[in-house]
Amino acid sequence: MKTTKRHLHPLAILVFWGRYIISWFIIILLSLFTDHGEWNETAMVVVIILLVILLFAVFKYWWYRYEIGDQAITIYTGVIFRKQRHVPYNRIQTLQLQQWLFLKPFHAVSVQLETAGQSHDQAEAVLPVVSQHVVDQLQLLVNGEQPLSDEVPEVVDNRYQISWSDLNTYALTSMGIIPILLGLLWLYGKLDDLVSKSVMDETINVVLHFGVLVIVGLAVLLIIAGLLVSYLTIVQRYYHFILTKKGDRLHTEKGFFQRNTITASESRIQAVVMRQTVLRQLLGLISVQLVLVSSAAKEEDQDNLVMLPVIDQSRVAIVNQFVSWVPAKLPALTRLTVAGKYRLMRNAVLLSLIPIIPLVYWLRPWGWLSLLLLPIALIMGWYAGRYMGVKRLDHQLLVLQTGHHFQRDTTIVPKRCIQSVTIEQTYWMRRVGLCHLQVNIRHGDGKEMVEVRYLPLQTAKDVYQWYRTKYN
């Protein structure tokens, strides 16, 4: 068909302008605090800078064009140094759409096209703002489908939509508060650089003057604030989450402030991860995630695409409706021996001694409180040993389970998606017949290693031999 070069949606000018303002934020800030005399002169300088940035945005919009062909999309960018990027549709692995709230009334969307050849987290091709009509056209071309008439409804094989109760459960059982509290502790550690020592000492004396109850109250308020921030972040991210399957393609849609849509082929799924924090284990809940050859999920849980945010573990068979090679029921795994579990507990205790010894020696008597790390480390080692295991299924699937930091991950990976299998063994492990089994799978534009530690040597050899038959 005859193709012509098209411009982006006019709202792209505002998007480019906003990005330039963020990039030039330091210059704008300096212009505000530089002595220009009267405030009207300062305002004039800021207005001139903003107008210059707007002019750059208009130039970029005018020269940013794209061409949709029968077999590929071509994108033209650059003002002085022109760049032309040609991306065949059959090379596109995931199609990611993002729609901020201000774009929704105009039916405009940002599009990212990702291939296996892209570098790092950068999409192979980006259309910053285009109309929904262009998006529909691209989806049909990427999927290799013909346009549907208005009388023929779109056929969806399976569909799942999260309920408010499930979304609340997912947010409330998230461990997102931990990085928030760690960030606040880091900020507290940097207060010495931001606030003078006299102010810090005076503040601490005022707080201590009010007694222990005030300190405990402040700690409780800090935890509540962290929980609230974590809860609201997850709710807005997975708001109105919808998962559909059409043919061999999965389609996820979610988000309140920014509607994020990802379309990926089932053949591009490298592994399925069923994740449970210790709290979700107690409640019988499970989260299902996908490992993709794509960076589309780089802002999600450990860069995995969340397929089902939270379901009851008794309903795990629903995964098979969307990913056909996942078994409807998880098998019993080959677990660690007592010797393997003991070594995980021992290692956890030895690692906890690294901070305990200097704290006890230099910070007495408060340093003795660090001894509380010993039972915590012991429990963490026991937890890791209890949930380590492996199992082969139907000559084509491998199930690996690990337990780290009170989180249990069950990874189901097809043999065809395994990049390598390694058996690692020290001299002392060889004497007791134990080893570490390491399985590497493709993840984004890199790899992810799943390691089952202190596994019986014969079990690891069986997996190794099973994988080798792929090439024999």
In this structure, what CATH number is given to the domain that contains residue 408?
A: 2.30.29.30
Is residue 129 domain-shared with residue 208, that is, in the same domain?
Answer: no
Residue 114 lies in a domain: yes
Q: State which of 127, 143, 159 marks the end of a domain.
A: 143
CATH number assigned to the domain comprising residue 92: 2.30.29
Is residue 125 domain-shared with residue 180, that is, in the same domain?
Answer: no
Residue 1 lies in a domain: no
Nearest to 262 by CA among 308, 310, 305: 305
Is the pLDDT confidence value at 152 over 50?
no
Question: Which two tokens mark 176?
Answer: 């997102």
Phi, psi of 68 (to 5 degrees): -100, 110
- Quick: pLDDT tens for 85-140: 988 988 887 888 999 888 989 999 999 888 766 555 667 789 999 999 999 888 88
Is the pLDDT confidence value at 12 over 60?
yes
- The mean pLDDT value for 186-214 works out to 59
Residue 339 lies in a domain: yes
- Quick: pLDDT tens for 218-239: 777 877 877 788 888 889 999 9
Distance CA 261, CA 259 (A): 7
Is residue 378 domain-shared with residue 465, that is, in the same domain?
Answer: yes
Least confidently predicted of 11-25, 194-208, 296-310, 426-440 = 194-208
Assign 186 a pLDDT band (cuts: 50, 70, 90). low
- Output the average pLDDT for the chain: 84
User: How many domains does the chain contain in total?
Assistant: 3
Is residue 217 domain-shared with residue 338, that is, in the same domain?
Answer: no
Is residue 471 domain-shared with residue 341, that is, in the same domain?
Answer: yes
Q: How far is CA 101 from CA 20, 215, 234, 260, in A?
A: 20, 41, 17, 11
Is residue 336 domain-shared with residue 470, that is, in the same domain?
Answer: yes
Residue 48 lies in a domain: yes
Is residue 100 domain-shared with residue 189, that is, in the same domain?
Answer: no
Is residue 76 domain-shared with residue 197, that is, in the same domain?
Answer: no
Residue 377 lies in a domain: yes
Is residue 100 domain-shared with residue 174, that is, in the same domain?
Answer: no
Distance CA 236, CA 260 (A): 11
Is residue 348 domain-shared with residue 401, that is, in the same domain?
Answer: yes
Is residue 184 domain-shared with residue 135, that is, in the same domain?
Answer: no
Domain that holds residue 176: 168-237
Helix (H) or strand (E) holding 338: helix 338-362
Residue 161 lies in a domain: no
Residue 282 lies in a domain: no
Is residue 336 domain-shared with residue 219, that is, in the same domain?
Answer: no
Q: State which of 193, 220, 237 marks the end of a domain.
A: 237
Assign 175 a pLDDT band (cuts: 50, 70, 90). low
Is the pLDDT confidence value at 73 over 70?
yes
Is the pLDDT confidence value at 342 over 90?
yes
Q: State which of 186, 219, 237 marks the end of a domain.
A: 237
Residue 464 lies in a domain: yes
- The mean pLDDT value for 365-379 works out to 90
- Give Dmax over CA atoms of the chain in angstroms: 81
Q: Residue 146 carries which DSSP code? A: P
